[in-house]
Amino acid sequence: MSYRITKEYVWAGAIADQIGALAEKLRALSAGGLDLELIVTRREQPGRGVMLVSPLRTMEELETAERAGLATENSYRIIRIKGPNVTGLGAKIAGALAEAGLSFRDYTAAALGDQSVTNIAFDNDEDSDRAKAILERVLAS
């Protein structure tokens, strides 16, 4: 099994809790040429939500995101794991992190057919670096 494990920035920004707000933000990002792999929105309180997107890698992408209302001060790092969807993968990942004494702030996973993607956010770069090394070792076997 081959897994690709990368560190990515997730950018966050406020989004109005109203019809069309997401479409407006995504149009702005699309017009700037962004090819997003992760889009998450959620309501934080009535009238206001948050939007999370990733990856943003080039200066042009960062500038487009800033124009769309996303900000670096709200960004954070994730570990993204892409690869085969196999039974027990989530338990294997979470178990390896628990055994290493690592806590995470967010965990999302999805599968489409025989492929999966998992995104795990940590509180700091040291924990995400450690998690990446551990998962590269664990998922190599």
Q: What is the 3-state secondary structure (H, E, C) of the chain?
A: CCCEEEEEEEEEEEEECCCCHHHHHHHHHHHCCCCCCEEEEEEEECCEEEEEEECCCCHHHHHHHHHCCCEEEEEEEEEEEEEECCCCHHHHHHHHHHHCCCCCCEEEEEEECCEEEEEEECCCHHHHHHHHHHHHHHHHC
| pTM for this predicted structure | 0.85
16-65 pLDDT tens trace: 999 999 999 999 999 888 899 999 999 989 999 999 999 888 888 888 88
Asked whether the predicted pLDDT for residue 74 surpasses 80, the reply is: no
80-131 pLDDT tens trace: 999 999 999 999 999 999 999 999 999 999 999 999 999 999 988 899 999 9
CA gap 133, 135 in Å, rounded: 6
For the chain, list the domains and their CATH numbers. Answer: 11-75 (3.30.70.260), 77-140 (3.30.70.260)
Asked whether the predicted pLDDT for residue 9 surpasses 90, the reply is: no
* Rounded average pLDDT over 73-79: 82
Q: Using 50, 70 and 90 to split pLDDT, how confident is the model at 75?
A: confident
